[in-house]
Chains A and B, each alone.
Chain A
């Protein structure tokens, strides 16, 4: 039993990081109707900003964390303005290719600056391990879990209960009608990229707190996994991204523990295929009727 709980926690933690990343994919898709494939690489940028902050003398840890999150948020807005906004009315394939290009650009930019060698990130979360019976929960895990839960609650309240949140949902449904209400949809899109990318920054910080190495392709794997999670949950759905992320983490962990460590990815993508066969819109996704 205790090993089951341990495996559950081992899945829950990366799962909640996937969920944070998946939120960015799903929010951006909801409002800009595009898959931002550079989203995963923002995680990597967040990790590097954190690393620079932690290594710089005189920068307190909290400031390094804040800078990493803010830096990612700003980067997201800039990427949208420079790369995606000019293509607002372009065919979706052009946007997709641009997003992939942006992803390679970020990876290679950091490859040039920092080389391909991983840089170890000093330990920066100092929370004591926690023991329940014979199960040990590490401090990092506790912090990750608490941070994710708080973010999910705040985001849910923001989207469903605030004026800006309902404006955001209005833009995602009908940009033209939203503009008749006086809502500036460009501003809402920028805000979405800022929030989504800041969440990727948080994910990057939590990721290196767990795996303590930063390298230029760091964001690729969690990025693609979180994208799968967003699709499983129903792309465009915020609770769907949360559920999809956590489900993915759990499937990974249980596969590793009880079936085979080598088959993890097969099960993850198998889950994607099964969900898409039985519910093509994902677990919580709804079909939108496209008006012509």
Chain B
């Protein structure tokens, strides 16, 4: 069943037509990768979905809600969490406070349970729960950003370049975690420049080039596609 459906999306930065007629969908339980070079429009697409940017035209439908008309701060409450590019954790707040803010819109009594779950998945965050966010290493900040997103108990988690700027060990760890998150039933929409890693864990993928989707299909098929190999996998 389609959880998120993007139709004929057009986004402009002033005069620049950054996203041109993009359409794609994400089904429940899938891991979908959006891959493409720097400037292809991956982050712009995600920001438009989570309400940080307004599209010129097009539709974004999530669980029957029209996201184009939903203000950014209402989207997380609908079940969509966003792990933004550059992590954007709150540097001056403690790890614990960052995580609690992830559950800001939740009114249920199980927040403590989710917090335990997050600490279990990221033991490092538990060790550092009273530390100020800005003092964490890049990899730890990425974990915090993911943990913060999980605190909202999302149906779908949207991740923007989670491996950017991390050491190779952390990169593998982050992708393992994404696999785990998906295995536990959360749908994942992943934007990555590291196409190889992204295609390895994705079910399906869309290839973006200068604001357009030029290729899409099963991740395994794309991995064997000659043009993808040449342009994105360095083979």
Contact = CB atoms under 8 A, between A and B. Distances in A.
Interface of A: 163, 166-167, 169-170, 173-174, 176-185, 291
Interface stretch (B14-22, B97-105, B170-178, B189-197): B97-105
B88 A176 contact: yes
Contact of A183 (B73, B84, B97): B73
26 contacts: A166-B93, A166-B100, A167-B101, A169-B92, A169-B93, A169-B97, A173-B93, A176-B84, A177-B89, A177-B90, A178-B101, A179-B73, A180-B50, A180-B52, A180-B72, A180-B76, A180-B82, A180-B84, A181-B73, A181-B76, A181-B148, A182-B73, A182-B74, A182-B76, A183-B101, A183-B104
Contacts of B220: none
Interface in B81-118: 81-82, 84, 86, 88-93, 97, 100-102, 104-105
A103 to B, nearest CB: 31
Nearest to A182: B105
Main secondary structure of the interface of A (DSSP, over half): helix
B100 A184 contact: no
Given A166-B100, A166-B101, A179 B72 contact: yes
A182 B77 contact: yes
A182 B84 contact: no
A181 B51 contact: no
Given A182-B104, A182-B152, A177 B77 contact: no
A214 to B, nearest CB: 40
Contacts of A167: 101, 104
A104 to B, nearest CB: 35
* Top-8 shortest CB links A-B: A182-B105, A179-B72, A177-B88, A182-B76, A179-B73, A184-B73, A180-B82, A181-B101
B136 to A, nearest CB: 15
A169 B89 CA distance: 12
Contacts of B81: 180
Given A169-B93, A176-B88, A185 B52 contact: no
Contacts of A177: 84, 88-90
B88 A174 contact: yes
B109 to A, nearest CB: 15
Contact of A170 (B77, B86, B93): B93
A240 to B, nearest CB: 14
A132 B22 CA distance: 78
Contacts of A178: 73, 90, 101
Contacts of B92: 169, 173
Contacts of A163: 100, 104
B162 to A, nearest CB: 15
Contact of A181 (B71, B86, B102): B102
A180 B73 CA distance: 6
